[in-house]
Structure 1
Amino acid sequence: MKKLLNLIIYSVHISVVFATILSGYSYFIPPDLVKYIGIAGLLFPVFLIVNVLLGLYWILQLNLRVLLTLGSIALVLPQANTLFQNFIRNEEVFTEESITVTTFNVRLFNHWHWFDEDVKEIMPKLLDSLGSQIVGIQEYYQSENTPKFNDFKYQFIATSFRNKNFGMAIFSKFPIAQKQVVYFQSEAADDRDGFIYADIKTPLGMARVVCAHLVSFKLTNEDLEMVENPSIESDSEQLKANYLSVLQKINRAFEKRAHQVRELKEFIIESPHPVILLGDLNDTPVSYTYKVLSGRLQDTFTQAGTGIGHTYNRTRYPFRIDYIFHSSEFKTIKHMVTTRPMVSDHYPVTAVLIRSQYESKVFHSDK
Structure 2
Amino acid sequence: MAVRRSFAFTCTVLVVLWLLVAIACVQIPPHTFWPAAFGALTLPVALGLNLGLVFYWLLRNWRLALLPLLVTVLTWPHFQRGLALHPWRTVEATGTPDRQVRVLSANVRIFNVYPQLRDPDLGSSRKLVQWLAESPADIICLQEFYNEPRSTHTRDGKVFRTVEQIGRKAGRHAFLSKSLTNSAGAEFGIAIFSRYPILRRGTISFGKLTQNHAMFADLRLPGGDTIRVYNFHLQSMSMQEKDIVQSYSSKAGFKHKSRGLLRRFKVGMMARSVQVDTLVRRFERCRYPMLLCADLNDLPYSYSYDQLADYFQNAWATVGNGIGSTYNGRLPFMRIDNQFASPHWTVEDFKVHYEIPYSDHFPTTATYDLRARDEAE
TM-score, normalising length: structure 2? 0.81
Partner residue, 2:240: 220
CA contact (8 A) 2:19 2:46 kept: yes
CA contact (8 A) 1:224 1:315 kept: no
- Which of 332, 345, 350 is 2:360 aligned to? 345
> What one-letter code is carried by the residue in structure 1 that aligns with 2:244?
L
Matches within 5 A, 1:16-55: 16-55=15-54
Matches within 5 A, 1:247-286: 247-286=262-301
Partner residue, 2:68: 69
CA contact (8 A) 1:30 1:258 kept: yes
CA contact (8 A) 1:21 1:76 kept: no
Distance 1:359 1:33 in 2: 40
CA 1:336 to 1:88, structure 2 compared with 1: closer, same or farther past 3 Å? farther
CA contact (8 A) 2:125 2:358 kept: no
CA contact (8 A) 1:87 1:307 kept: no
Distance 1:69 1:4 in 2: 20
> What one-letter code is carried by the residue in structure 1 that aligns with 2:239?
L
Q: How far did 1:241 drift?
A: 5.8
Q: How far did 1:360 drift?
A: 10
> What one-letter code is carried by the residue in structure 2 that aligns with 1:302?
A
Q: How far did 1:96 drift?
A: 0.6
Distance 2:64 2:134 in 1: 50
CA 1:10 to 1:311, structure 2 compared with 1: closer, same or farther past 3 Å? same
Distance 2:376 2:274 in 1: 22
Partner residue, 1:102: 104
Q: Which has the higher helix share?
A: 2
Distance 2:237 2:13 in 1: 32
CA contact (8 A) 1:296 1:361 kept: no
> What one-letter code is carried by the residue in structure 2 that aligns with 1:313?
N
CA 1:53 to 1:272, structure 2 compared with 1: closer, same or farther past 3 Å? closer
CA contact (8 A) 1:159 1:166 kept: yes
Q: How far did 1:201 drift?
A: 1.8
Is 2:197 aligned against 1:175?
yes
Matches within 5 A, 1:180-329: 180-185=202-207, 190=209, 192-203=211-222, 205-227=225-247, 229-232=248-251, 234=252, 239-240=254-255, 242-329=257-344
Report SS of the residue matched to 2:203: strand
CA 1:25 to 1:361, structure 2 compared with 1: closer, same or farther past 3 Å? farther
1:137-176 alpha-carbon deviations (Å, 9 max, x no partner): 0011235553532314311122334856321111111222
CA contact (8 A) 2:328 2:357 kept: no
1:4-30 alpha-carbon deviations (Å, 9 max, x no partner): 877776665544333223223322211
Report SS of the residue matched to 1:140: strand
> What one-letter code is carried by the residue in structure 2 that aligns with 1:347?
F
More deviation, 51-60/314-323 = 51-60
CA 1:142 to 1:54, structure 2 compared with 1: closer, same or farther past 3 Å? same
Distance 1:36 1:125 in 2: 44
1:90-116 alpha-carbon deviations (Å, 9 max, x no partner): 112325121101111111212345476
CA 1:345 to 1:261, structure 2 compared with 1: closer, same or farther past 3 Å? same
Identity across aligned pairs (percent)? Answer: 26
CA 1:14 to 1:313, structure 2 compared with 1: closer, same or farther past 3 Å? farther
CA 1:66 to 1:129, structure 2 compared with 1: closer, same or farther past 3 Å? farther
Distance 2:50 2:140 in 1: 39
Distance 1:275 1:241 in 2: 45
Is 2:94 aligned against 1:85?
no
Distance 1:249 1:361 in 2: 41
1:287-307 alpha-carbon deviations (Å, 9 max, x no partner): 221222233333222333232
Distance 1:301 1:207 in 2: 21
CA 1:7 to 1:348, structure 2 compared with 1: closer, same or farther past 3 Å? same
Partner residue, 2:156: none
CA contact (8 A) 2:95 2:371 kept: no
Q: How far did 1:225 drift?
A: 0.8
- Between the two proteins, the alignment pairs up a number of residues equal to 353
Q: Aligned-residue CA RMSD in angstroms? A: 3.1
Report SS of the residue matched to 2:311: coil
More deviation, 287-296/109-118 = 109-118
> What one-letter code is carried by the residue in structure 2 that aligns with 1:141?
Y
Structure 1: runs of 5+ lacking an equivalent: 363-367
CA contact (8 A) 2:344 2:376 kept: no
- Which of 118, 125, 128 is 1:123 aligned to? 128
